[in-house]
Structure 1
């Protein structure tokens, strides 16, 4: 490793980046037909006339990505020609997938194709072949696409069998690539995620996002009912399955088995894109339980992701089942995306207006129960015991609706599961009202599956709406369950719940005090360059039992952690450092990943005989992740540095 320069390197700020505030979609409208013939009575623009121009009568999906060269690719699923049955995916002229190119930058009047990839004149080509044998390989469906340089990549799933609606099984998912502008594609033989015997591998359907030199792969199991997991890979290593690293809730692991959710499903047909104008990542998917395409947003690729917000409902657009974001239709106030409708089994360009989200950084979905009237179930809330939704009954604290539980015996609660980062502080707030005979009401958070209680507030009779606040640490959990409920000890007992929020604590460094490190070897999210680890119960810590350390006779030695940040935002990094008496070249600071530019640091030129607070303020620049570090050069023989109670907070 080259000796580090003490001079701080300049940070280039992205002037186009937004404020990274949460947004919500409104005013969703259908702009134009993308595929298929115009039926009688439809007045939408239909610029592509795919039925006559490419023998695409019926198709679905419409995955869009920037391919470079002033064009996007638009990728479709099972496609039918002149023998199409006219209702759903069936009939003649079957191709498992087809691909279009578009240079259209004016989306307000529709999405026009430059052409479709063809195998003969006026006939869209199947770009990824399939066996078309049920319970072997029924079809090959694309789920995502990305381009790196002049090479293009498709993430696809090999479907073994179509089951009940929203349920299917896959053999594996994989990556195919093209080096001739999409005309021909090769399925890479080892860039695959093989499904398991129970068909629960979480990386069977995907969405790609390029960011910071990586390609992020968001993924779900086969079907539409799984959680969202995350992996990433350097841009140049997409076909090397061993180069992928999986989000384990704290950091990146080489083990796929260590992957933990970034979003709680019910999720199908994912799409994820970065909105540079907002400084936010946007995620869309179908929630079958809510019968709607929903949207979440986040300031960083790993989250925390907001709760679900309704984007396109089945009530307004019958049979809707995906929302693939157009990368060029992504402004501070507008979102363009392609949806499919089962009947007429074709695709449409849609537009939503994005507005500031009054819920801010709330991690819970449906916090005020206001869109429950549009859904046949209580999703994403669920019940223990008896209860439901008061819809426009005049009982709500705000808006029209609220949740309630009511019974004559037993435990009755409204619940919701949400992803959290382990060993991180959270604040849960909500408003409750209860019957006069309530003696044991509880509002709080616990580990998933009725696990240990992490924090709760007990209440009795609440004749008027009363706010409760619960602070808790997530412990080792990556998913927690929030709840509001009551024990019905004395006959008919009820409680009402409204305006619930869950927000993350200010410190972005995970395990900043090293207390949860399981051994003397530093593990995720901490890692070591050179020689170092964790002092466990040795009496060296500033607080608690543990601290981090580096120690060596030579070279650069540092403890590091990758931390997700919002671009172009000012942060303050603090930590307590103690060193050996011969230490004279230590550093505490933050830099861009992969040995990138230093954002700011403190140079420790003198030994620190006792723990001393260090503080560094920096701007994150155009980065969504930074590396925080504490380390020293061992210039004069055996040299050590200890660090404890590290924190990174947004100014």
Structure 2
């Protein structure tokens, strides 16, 4: 029998549990593995397998967007690049190319990342693959932001930069897609696959990250610069160059209108990277949060979320000047994460590695719930302060860990608050632990609309001498973003301490399950009609509330349907209440793969249901991250109808 050291056994057990649970993770132990680009400076001991300064005249560059290109290789795509005459500090100097591209077949990342080659325009000179005018206030440069391969065609999402602004701010003319059919040697900027910016530089689809999933390419996007929220669109894999084929996440479903897009994540977000981690069954998202001076990670079970709160992946205090983390698709396991990062002062790229550990707070949508990584920041992001307060850092005041938030003042409203994305008309529960000074008489913990909007739910409290849990259940209403807060009205020297805050979604995954928020007789997002179907509004036909859905016809398939995000290979139960005409003979209630795909399970109801009757279906999601729920009927030459109300989908 072999002997295993205790710490080795613990790591092995952790790896097994991570893979078995396919749950949320937290990154720890981030380290630099190797230099990817540039020359090795004096005193640096990192491996430098590519020697790009001599092999490709790449002395300084950034980004390093990496994706699987097929054929046993990945592409690595870099931004503004400098050669002979590079200034040696940041992006400046001679030999300027707006972007360059490398290929790699290296699968052994533990000792570094080695190129197969770089795309070249002459011997030992990396080629600029997407040209730019290089004229300030016109087109200063063209910077890639994402890449994806579908079949044998490769695609790059890029931004045309009009001019650079203050640190972390730049302004784009448009974002576009280029493609290559010759293994990356030559690229074509498609003339109409573009998202034009507006006069106020606020279009939300200027920088991106691509993910392939379920026959779609998902495009996560932000405005230009590093201070926007994250939005989402998707397009069938074969239609990437058709700008009219994109559909935008509107908080409930998919809209053809870009203006309908709502955030999936609250920024401050720059240089996105999003991948699917098959070992975890989770989507991982990284970006730079300038306000936190850190690259952060979020995870989610479905492309639309809900996304977890931010978790610090790599801090600027440990790695000065870092500003991205592009995840390597081949270093993407249940316990290890490899990614490419840039640092400004050396203006070059590095391979880094983090260890992933299980996260019991994976369902928590709030970032920094225990205030534990505040010590290195100059502001309180992602928490914000109204009035007077801050963070107690390792002073023995926390409920758990070593830090907690506080407010303290002699007068006025003083609160800690955080904005978070929610799905409209969905139930949530907010929890947090609070204690106060003895003279507190007007403390409040709750949720409201953004920008100090209407209160959705709150608890009031007086003096709390010890940490006491506050629980608030609420419905998000029409909001896609809400504001969580804990605070007090001070009267004399008054204080409040806050710790261990969580926001979790309710169990029912069906949006607008009772149709009460449908504002038209025609079904609107997230509900969609097939054949002749719609909404009864205030007609007295509902099981509960005022509204219900219906389908009615003499022939053909007629149904209401909704796409819902699910975790792959997981059991779910779908329930709903159905009533039919006396002529009814052929109805179905169930779940299927998107786009009219295979049925996952369904109930076939052939007898008339003279009053609302509950139907129930249990199914396994299989490999899918989204499924289509449906309730409908076939007409067979006679006028017939069904009515549907009060649906529920819960994970078993």
TM-score bracket for the superposition, by shorter chain length: over 0.9
What's the offset of the Cα at 1:18? 5.6
1:402 paired to 2:404 = yes
What's the offset of the Cα at 1:604? 0.7
- SS of the counterpart of 2:400? coil
Could you tell me which residue of structure 2 aligns to residue 644 of structure 1? 645
Q: Distance in 1 between matches of 2:65 and 2:456?
A: 41
Q: Distance in 2 between matches of 1:17 and 1:612?
A: 41
Could you tell me which residue of structure 2 aligns to residue 503 of structure 1? 504
Q: Distance in 1 between matches of 2:290 and 2:171?
A: 17
Could you tell me which residue of structure 1 aligns to residue 565 of structure 2? 564
Q: Distance in 1 between matches of 2:360 and 2:638?
A: 57
What's the offset of the Cα at 1:637? 1.4
Could you tell me which residue of structure 1 aligns to residue 459 of structure 2? 457
Contact kept? 1:18, 1:279, Cα under 8 Å? no
Change (3 A) 1:272 1:304: same
Q: Distance in 1 between matches of 2:523 and 2:387?
A: 44
- SS of the counterpart of 2:365? coil
* Unaligned stretches of 5+ residues in structure 1: 1-15
Q: Distance in 2 between matches of 1:364 and 1:505?
A: 15
CA deviations 1:17-75 (Å, max 9, x no partner) are 86331100000000000000000111100000000000000000000000000000000
Residue number among 202, 205, 216 corresponding to 2:204 in the alignment: 202
Q: Distance in 2 between matches of 1:54 and 1:28?
A: 29
What count of residue pairs does the alignment treat as equivalent? 635
Q: Distance in 2 between matches of 1:105 and 1:596?
A: 35
CA deviations 1:287-345 (Å, max 9, x no partner) are 00000000000000000000000001000000000000000000000000000000100
Could you tell me which residue of structure 2 aligns to residue 521 of structure 1? 522
Could you tell me which residue of structure 2 aligns to residue 543 of structure 1? 544
1:553 paired to 2:551 = no
CA deviations 1:230-256 (Å, max 9, x no partner) are 000000000000000000000000000
What's the offset of the Cα at 1:120? 0.2
Residue number among 298, 303, 307 corresponding to 1:296 in the alignment: 298
Mapping 1:17-96, distance limit 5 Å: 19-96=21-98
Change (3 A) 1:18 1:81: farther
Could you tell me which residue of structure 2 aligns to residue 579 of structure 1? 580
Contact kept? 2:61, 2:82, Cα under 8 Å? yes
Could you tell me which residue of structure 1 aligns to residue 11 of structure 2? none
What's the offset of the Cα at 1:481? 0.2
Root-mean-square deviation (Å)? 0.8
Q: Distance in 1 between matches of 2:65 and 2:568?
A: 27
Could you tell me which residue of structure 2 aligns to residue 6 of structure 1? none
* Structure 1 moving runs of 4+ over 6 Å: none
- SS of the counterpart of 2:600? strand
Could you tell me which residue of structure 1 aligns to residue 10 of structure 2? none
Q: Distance in 1 between matches of 2:247 and 2:360?
A: 35
* Unaligned stretches of 5+ residues in structure 2: 1-17
What's the offset of the Cα at 1:186? 0.2
Contact kept? 1:509, 1:646, Cα under 8 Å? yes
Q: Distance in 1 between matches of 2:355 and 2:362?
A: 17
Contact kept? 1:18, 1:276, Cα under 8 Å? no
Q: Distance in 2 between matches of 1:593 and 1:562?
A: 7
Could you tell me which residue of structure 2 aligns to residue 282 of structure 1? 284
Could you tell me which residue of structure 2 aligns to residue 3 of structure 1? none
Could you tell me which residue of structure 1 aligns to residue 436 of structure 2? 434
Contact kept? 2:396, 2:402, Cα under 8 Å? yes
Contact kept? 1:530, 1:558, Cα under 8 Å? yes
Mapping 1:411-426, distance limit 5 Å: 411-426=413-428
Could you tell me which residue of structure 1 aligns to residue 117 of structure 2? 115
Contact kept? 1:589, 1:616, Cα under 8 Å? yes
CA deviations 1:337-390 (Å, max 9, x no partner) are 000000100000000000101313100000000000121110000011111000
Contact kept? 1:32, 1:349, Cα under 8 Å? yes
TM-score normalised to the size of structure 1? Answer: 0.97
Residue number among 160, 163, 171 corresponding to 2:162 in the alignment: 160
- SS of the counterpart of 2:375? helix
TM-score normalised to the size of structure 2? Answer: 0.97
Q: Distance in 2 between matches of 1:552 and 1:335?
A: 54
Contact kept? 1:163, 1:169, Cα under 8 Å? yes
Change (3 A) 1:611 1:17: farther
1:620 paired to 2:615 = no
Could you tell me which residue of structure 1 aligns to residue 320 of structure 2? 318
What's the offset of the Cα at 1:595? 1.1
Q: Distance in 2 between matches of 1:606 and 1:132?
A: 71
